[in-house]
Structure 1
Amino acid sequence: MTGEWRLGARSSRVSTSPETVEEEPASATDAAVGASGGAARRRTAPRVLFVGINYAPEPTGIAPYTGGMAGALAARGWRVQVVTTHPHYPWWKVQDGYGGWTRTETRDLVDVTRLRHYVPRRHTMVDRALSELTFGLRATLARWHRPDTVVLVSPAMISSRLAAVRAALTGVPTIVWVQDIYTLGARETGAVSHGAQGIAALERGLMNSADRVVAIHDRFRRVLQEDLSVATPVDVVRNWSHVKTDGAGRDSALRRELGWGDEDVVVLHAGNIGAKQGLENVVDASIEAARRGSHVKFVLLGDGNQRPALEAMGACSRLQFLDPLPDGAFERALASADILLVNERPGLTEMAVPSKLTTYFATGLPVIAAVDPSSITHDEVCAAGAGPCVAAGDPSALVDAAERLAADPAGAQAFGQAARSYRDAHLGIDAAVASFEATLQAAMVSGRRAAAGALAGSPSRRHRPVLHH
């Protein structure tokens, strides 16, 4: 999953009843009871259902974007429902205050149904697949609020495929929102030695069963269309910068509290600590910095399934692990670093767009990208002019880049200003929501055309049986 931190969300109503969310009255009934004003407009607005395994208040990965989009659409008058799990990522355990077979709540005008599913303690492909399968079965059998369109968030692909079957049987148009591409992940990480073709077929089938596909980058669209032969129209909606760090500034008191000395050049990596981040490179870089007597200090802020293994590589005076920080403290810590780091394992080129960049670019700090030169991340950092790129898996080059930035404050400041300008021009939420709304409308139009074609008896790839709830 992509790595990012802390999107605050409010809960105005929470029910821990084992019952699922009750079906709301249909629009005709709403009108009959005399609804008026904003409430009437909301009841007559189209319904959209998001089905995804991650959602706010999870602080990292896909959750901030699903939560942000759902909330923004609700604020614009859409009736939004989310079917998801209890918060469990990146800790891989359900968080305190959550749990139970089914839980309903309202967050930022969004009706949220949380379902218990299998949270794996191990992180094998089989365990991940079982986690998605259990959520997919429950999400498919959950009560849906008669949506006009369904957005399937991938990852998770297996649960999305199951929910797509229900949507097809009930004649509801679907959109697949692609945050990561499974096929590329299997290929580039080597996590799957057998069955890669089956994963590609499943992913292709999911995309081609949908009315529209949303990708988060132009290169994702190219991979889907050219490598996976996806025939469904693919729209690009960029992830946005959602963590507010503008004006935060360097906090000397917080630096002292975190153990960062005035002489330390803090290189901060924030987000998930997983396999695709390849953070062994950062541990090795810290050892190299200590060997040189460098002032560069590497800080890994976050959690994930690889953190214990990295900590077991040995303590080093130039390396620090920090647990996830709450809202406010996280933004202050980010702004109080000297350099921000995105690190990927060698060979990753297309599988992911690290969402941490949207936050990094907002800080006004320079960014070092230790990534493959042919990767999406490399292109994104270069397009923003955010900082130097060095080869993935080269710890000496990483230390060199940090020391050069520390020795050139004016150059470092120029990188940070360029990144913020890029954020302002290309990574705003208003443009993302407007584009997503256009995709929703297009999906609903294609769904109506398919229904009309089915009634007329015309053959079409979009011909699907329509069953009433």
Structure 2
Amino acid sequence: MDLDSAGAKISMTRTREAELASSELGSQAHTAHGNPRRRLRVLIVALNYAPEITGNAPYTAGLATGLSDRGHQVRVLTGLPHYPQWRLAPGYEDREVHRREFIDSVPVSRLRHHIPTPPTGRGRIRMEASFGGRVAVTRWPSHDVLVCPVPGLLPTGLCVGRTKYRRRHAPVVTWVQDLYSLGVVETGFLSGRPARLTGALEGQILRNSDAVVAIHDSFKSHIVNNLGVRADAVEVIRNWTHLRPTELSDRNATRSRFGWRNDELIVLHAGNMGVKQGLENVVATAQLAAASHANVRFVLLGDGNQRSHLEQLGAGIPTLQFIRPLPTDDFRSAMAAADILLVNDRPGVGAMSMPSKLTSYFTTGNPVVAATEACSTTAYELAATGAGMVVPPDDPRALLDTLTRLAANGALRDTLARAGRQYSATVLSANHAIDRFETLLTRLTFQRNSAAQASKGTFHQ
């Protein structure tokens, strides 16, 4: 299977090398006129991609589109859209092993793979292995640099292994969105020797990457201190806000469309309904609210492998509502029309990942409440932003009390909401993140080409 398209080969002249060297490889890869100084050929190999709207797919697609908009040649090799519902998305039911399409002008090649239903631990391993196996035997387009987001770890490991066996290989950047070595322990999937082997595999993959991008400082700390990756090989580039701030022209009408009364407190959790979210806590809190006649409605918006279980658990609770995944504009409107946005983590979970929903929440002008461990990445982020409050996980009474106190304090809600929007506009800028990626990819490519030129010169002497 050939993913290459016709195109002229790009070579770096000595003049261009001098320009890059004089910029110390850390400056913008754009000229004053906004044109790229060198057109990079970027290959992204990712299990998840658009049209998935949750998880790491929006960031992978955003990076691809952002680099393409800056004039770089970007190609994407990805899997089939299936997350978070763990079912094949409509329109992708054909049995083609290899499918091509364009998304936002970026060429996307999709490889068929196993989709576990329900997504058990073994099923997810099989999915990553099946996608990784197809990636390993597929012919890749010519590229200057390879970017591999994690999840999935197994496809990334196969990409690193395949690349390193080449005599002159392109640099590999592993983009860590989840830490498997923590995740298998925090979710209870593995313990003991199997968990240690997972950590050893993750460390081996990251140490053999040319660079590692971590989405949070706490991730970098674990990658360096526990997985043995050199600190200078790890760069922190934050996930950005991929949704525009929403200003509702008629908030009451929007609430009415979702069946929400104007006099009730709407507490909304948006995104995946999986094991690590531990949303049984939200169901229990809704039940407590109903028993105490609190004027609160809990809304679980999204899908996931635990949705059916949660619906059965919450059947008959009048203060609990489930909403299926919505189109992007309706999704933004629902978050903006709510009163408080909720993050919920299973007890013991918190260091393995950074909830992607936070970057969306901060754009809405609503405060955030997180039921999570005090040492979790979510708690760290809310403390840094000043955009929300933290309560212990799996404590329905504490969660309900905090929500009702916050509902009664309009000044505090406004303060938290303003802090979230300010943080979103400054720290979580998409342009800033893509600037950082562009600089990193340019530097790695220049270093690899310089090393190849030096080796060639030594050989001819």
TM-score under structure 1 length normalisation: 0.88
Q: How does 1:213-228 map to 2 (within 5 A)?
A: 213-228=212-227
Match of 2:45 in 1: 51
Deviations 1:232-257 (A, max 9, x none): 60001000111123323662222122
TM-score under structure 2 length normalisation: 0.89
Q: Amino acid of the residue matched to residue 243 of structure 2?
A: V
Whole-angstrom CA distance in 1 between matches of 2:71 and 2:372: 41
Query: In terms of mean alpha carbon deviation, does 402-411 or 356-365 score higher?
Result: 402-411
Match of 2:5 in 1: 23
Match of 1:81 in 2: 75
Whole-angstrom CA distance in 1 between matches of 2:185 and 2:455: 39
Whole-angstrom CA distance in 1 between matches of 2:378 and 2:198: 24
Q: How does 1:377-456 map to 2 (within 5 A)?
A: 377-451=378-452
Q: Amino acid of the residue matched to residue 132 of structure 2?
A: G
Residues 318, 384 of structure 1: CA spacing in aligned structure 2 closer, same or farther, 3 A cutoff?
same
What is the aligned-residue RMSD (CA, Å)? 2.0
Residues 157, 249 of structure 1: CA spacing in aligned structure 2 closer, same or farther, 3 A cutoff?
farther
Q: Amino acid of the residue matched to residue 148 of structure 2?
A: L
Q: Is 2:258 aligned against 1:262?
A: no
In the TM superposition, residue 382 of structure 1 has moved relative to its aligned partner by 1.6
- Answer yes or no: is the 8 Å Cα contact 1:289–1:318 preserved in 2: yes
Q: How does 1:326-341 map to 2 (within 5 A)?
A: 326-341=327-342
Match of 1:123 in 2: 119
Matched position secondary structure for 2:359: helix
Q: Amino acid of the residue matched to residue 91 of structure 1?
A: Q
- Answer yes or no: is the 8 Å Cα contact 1:150–1:167 preserved in 2: no
Give unmatched runs, 5+ long, in structure 1. Answer: 1-18, 30-40, 459-469
Whole-angstrom CA distance in 2 between matches of 1:297 and 1:450: 61
Whole-angstrom CA distance in 2 between matches of 1:67 and 1:74: 11
Matched position secondary structure for 2:313: coil
Match of 1:203 in 2: 202
Identity %: 43
Match of 1:156 in 2: 152
Match of 1:109 in 2: 105
Match of 2:27 in 1: none
In the TM superposition, residue 64 of structure 1 has moved relative to its aligned partner by 0.2
In the TM superposition, residue 44 of structure 1 has moved relative to its aligned partner by 7.0
Q: Is 2:186 aligned against 1:188?
A: yes
Match of 1:463 in 2: none
- Answer yes or no: is the 8 Å Cα contact 1:85–1:135 preserved in 2: yes
Q: Amino acid of the residue matched to residue 418 of structure 1?
A: A
- Answer yes or no: is the 8 Å Cα contact 2:86–2:118 preserved in 1: no
Q: Amino acid of the residue matched to residue 266 of structure 1?
A: I
Whole-angstrom CA distance in 1 between matches of 2:170 and 2:241: 31
Matched position secondary structure for 1:284: helix
* Aligned counterpart for 2:84 among listed residues 80, 86, 90: 90
- Answer yes or no: is the 8 Å Cα contact 2:43–2:145 preserved in 1: yes
Deviations 1:274-310 (A, max 9, x none): 0111111100100110111001111000000011111
- Answer yes or no: is the 8 Å Cα contact 1:254–1:333 preserved in 2: yes
- Answer yes or no: is the 8 Å Cα contact 2:344–2:371 preserved in 1: yes
* Aligned counterpart for 1:63 among listed residues 57, 67, 78: 57
Matched position secondary structure for 1:140: helix
Deviations 1:14-72 (A, max 9, x none): xxxxx65343234279xxxxxxxxxxx89972101000100001111010000001000
Q: Amino acid of the residue matched to residue 383 of structure 2?
A: C
Give unmatched runs, 5+ long, in structure 2. Answer: 12-34
- Answer yes or no: is the 8 Å Cα contact 1:211–1:446 preserved in 2: no
In the TM superposition, residue 121 of structure 1 has moved relative to its aligned partner by 1.0
Q: Amino acid of the residue matched to residue 139 of structure 1?
A: V
Residues 111, 59 of structure 1: CA spacing in aligned structure 2 closer, same or farther, 3 A cutoff?
same
Query: In terms of mean alpha carbon deviation, does 253-262 or 377-386 score higher?
Result: 253-262
- Answer yes or no: is the 8 Å Cα contact 2:2–2:140 preserved in 1: no
